[in-house]
Amino acid sequence: MAEGIVLVLNAGSSSVKFRIAEESGTALYEGAISGIGSKPAFKLKDGAGKTIPLDLAPERMDEHQDALDLLLGIAAEFLPGRQILAAGHRVVHGGLDFAAPVIADAAVLDRLDAFVPLAPLHQPHNLAAIRALARLRPDLPQVACFDTAFHIGQDRIARLFGLPRALIDEGVFRYGFHGLSYQAIAARMPAVMGPGADGKVIVAHLGNGCSMCAMDGRRSVATTMGFTALDGLVMGTRSGAIDPGVVLYLLEQKGYTPARIADLLYRESGLLGVSGLSNDMRDLLASDAPAAAEAVALFVHRILREIGSLMMVLGGLDALVFTAGIGENAAPVRARVIEGLGFLGARLDGAANAAGGPRLTAPDSRIAAFVIPTDEEAVIVSETLRLLS
Ligand code: AMP
């Protein structure tokens, strides 16, 4: 009998990103259905990344259930005879309750509803997709994999904000995100880095969203994202950490509504906001506009400042790992970060960096640096199958 397949789903407010994967995690097809609730569009690529033209965008797609129905149809058409074993979902928030993936039955979904106010842009849509798929395929096992779970072992002090205790007690503290990516990297580190993997390592996930995680013994001890995925580094369109007084200024002096401020901080800031040009690092590196150069300089500056902070939590630094779109591809950004650590004895190997690593530093470098590609979807597949076995 043909091997089974696993659906990996990442549902947003108006889109569902998906991978149809082998049991090994390898992608057979990947894509996205966007424009749910407005004008639907469907993107599909095969496992080699080749776009497959599709002529099936329906006129209307009112909700996630319609999108998932379409996706099940695609899976049946392109992979006849292959049974879908399970669906693994990226769920942004598991609070402190969920330290590991879990079968997303009705009782678990009710508990996960409690975290909707903590992640209103993602959590309700993640959960809506699980419920929609349960209506379409009640017998299909579904697993929720959390972006917060990797950080759950952090010390309480690493999590606290200096806020009144009543707010802390209701859960206003740092959770951290990108946990599925950090889990993927932590699993790959020994093969790339040898025994150094278990030392003091900072992993920089630099994609559209950006964060860093300080790991000791491949466990998270601190991270730059906090209560939301808005904190920390400058990102594609998100501001990263800002003085909270800026939010008060926007509210009180400029009359911004909360929705307008959310738009500004999540969608109009970061590389896009500072450059006024693009949220894409490729565009900024290719541009000779002074504002593009300033955006890149700020991006690197914030990374270096946060490395300083995370190093103090770790009590040293043995290695730095770059991952995600910018981390894996933008050699000039990596070079500037490693050169910024020169006073600590980091020595860039320029040729290795230009070639994409995996090792980016010279043999005598006191801090080693590496590129390790991330694969969050593969983690979701393996965790989903592990739970079901
Ligand atoms: P991700 O969220 O991991 O898919 O990363 C997406 C981002 O990676 C894009 O918005 C770009 O800023 C960046 N990126 C992708 N490829 C390159 C490249 N070759 N050089 C520089 N940046 C890149």
Per-residue pLDDT tens digits for 254-313 = 999 999 999 999 999 999 999 999 999 999 999 999 999 999 999 999 999 999 999 999
The annotation status of 353 as a binding-site residue, yes or no, is no
Return the DSSP state at 59: S
Residue 202 identity (one-letter amino acid): I
Among residues 55, 62, 105, 147, the one annotated as catalytic is: 147
Cβ neighbors of 298 (< 8 A, separation 6 or more) are 234, 274
pTM of the model: 0.94
24-27 contact pairs (CB < 8 A, 24+): 24/378, 24/381, 25/375, 25/377, 25/378, 25/379, 25/381, 25/382, 26/378, 27/377
- Cis status, amide bond into 358, omega within 30 of 0: yes
**179-376 CATH, one of 3.40.30.10, 3.40.190.10, 1.10.1040.50, 3.30.420.40:** 3.30.420.40
Give the DSSP per-residue string, 102-147. Answer: EE--HHHHHHHHTTGGGSTTTHHHHHHHHHHHHHH-TTS-EEEEES
pLDDT tens for the chain, 389 residues: list them: 578 999 999 998 889 999 999 999 899 999 999 888 888 888 999 999 999 988 766 667 888 999 999 999 999 999 998 999 999 999 999 998 999 999 999 999 999 999 998 888 889 999 999 999 999 999 999 999 999 999 999 999 999 999 999 999 999 999 999 999 999 999 999 999 999 999 999 999 999 999 999 999 999 999 999 999 999 999 999 999 999 999 999 999 999 999 999 999 999 999 999 999 999 999 999 999 999 999 999 999 999 999 999 999 999 999 999 999 999 999 999 999 999 999 999 999 999 999 999 999 999 999 999 999 999 999 999 999 999 98
- Interhelix angle for 179-193 vs 376-388, to 10°? 100
Distance 348 CA to ligand 1 centre (A): 22
Return the bridge partners of 87, or none: 7, 142
The annotation status of 37 as a binding-site residue, yes or no, is no
Q: Is 254 strand, coil or helix?
A: coil
Cβ neighbors of 188 (< 8 A, separation 6 or more) are 372
215, 221 Cβ separation under 8 angstroms: yes
Distance 261 CA to ligand 1 centre (A): 26
Distance 323 CA to ligand 1 centre (A): 10
Domain with CATH 3.30.420.40 in the chain: 5-142, 179-376
Query: Whose Cα sits closest to atom 23 in ligand 1?
Result: 326
| 231 classed as catalytic | no
Pocket probe for ligand 1: among 180, 206, 280, the residue whose CB has the most ligand atoms within 8 Å is 280
Query: In this structure, how many other beta carbons lie within 10 angstroms of the beta carbon of residue 353?
Result: 20
In the chain, % helix, strand, coil (3-state, to 5) comes to 40, 20, 40
The annotation status of 103 as a binding-site residue, yes or no, is no
The annotation status of 206 as a binding-site residue, yes or no, is yes
Cβ neighbors of 43 (< 8 A, separation 6 or more) are 31, 32, 33, 34, 51
Kindly report the three-state secondary structure assignment for every residue of 281-311.
HHHHHHCCCHHHHHHHHHHHHHHHHHHHHHH
Shortest CA distance to 333 belongs to which of 370, 281, 290? 281
Q: What are phi and psi of 166, to 5 degrees?
A: -60, -40
Distance 327 CA to ligand 1 centre (A): 8
Shortest CA distance to 368 belongs to which of 232, 194, 217? 194
Q: What are phi and psi of 169, to 5 degrees?
A: -65, -25
Query: Whose Cα sits closest to atom 9 in ligand 1?
Result: 280
Query: From CA 5, how far away is CA 28, in angstroms rounded?
Result: 9
Please identify, by atom number, the ligand 1 atom nearest to the C-alpha of residue 208. Answer: 2
Q: Is 93 strand, coil or helix?
A: coil
Shortest CA distance to 360 belongs to which of 204, 222, 237? 204
Q: How far is CA 23 from CA 65, 66, 139, 321, in A?
A: 25, 26, 19, 27
127, 113 Cβ separation under 8 angstroms: yes
- Which protein residues are within 6 Å of ligand 1, measured from CB? 207-208, 236, 280-282, 324-326, 329-330
Just give the CATH number of 5-142.
Answer: 3.30.420.40
Return the bridge partners of 34, or none: 41
The annotation status of 328 as a binding-site residue, yes or no, is yes
Query: Whose Cα sits closest to atom 17 in ligand 1?
Result: 329
Please identify, by atom number, the ligand 1 atom nearest to the C-alpha of residue 209. Answer: 2
Q: Which pLDDT tens digit goes with each residue over 342-355? A: 999 999 999 999 99
Pocket probe for ligand 1: among 237, 279, 282, the residue whose CB has the most ligand atoms within 8 Å is 282
pLDDT of residue 294: 98
Distance 286 CA to ligand 1 centre (A): 13
First to last CA, the chain: 18
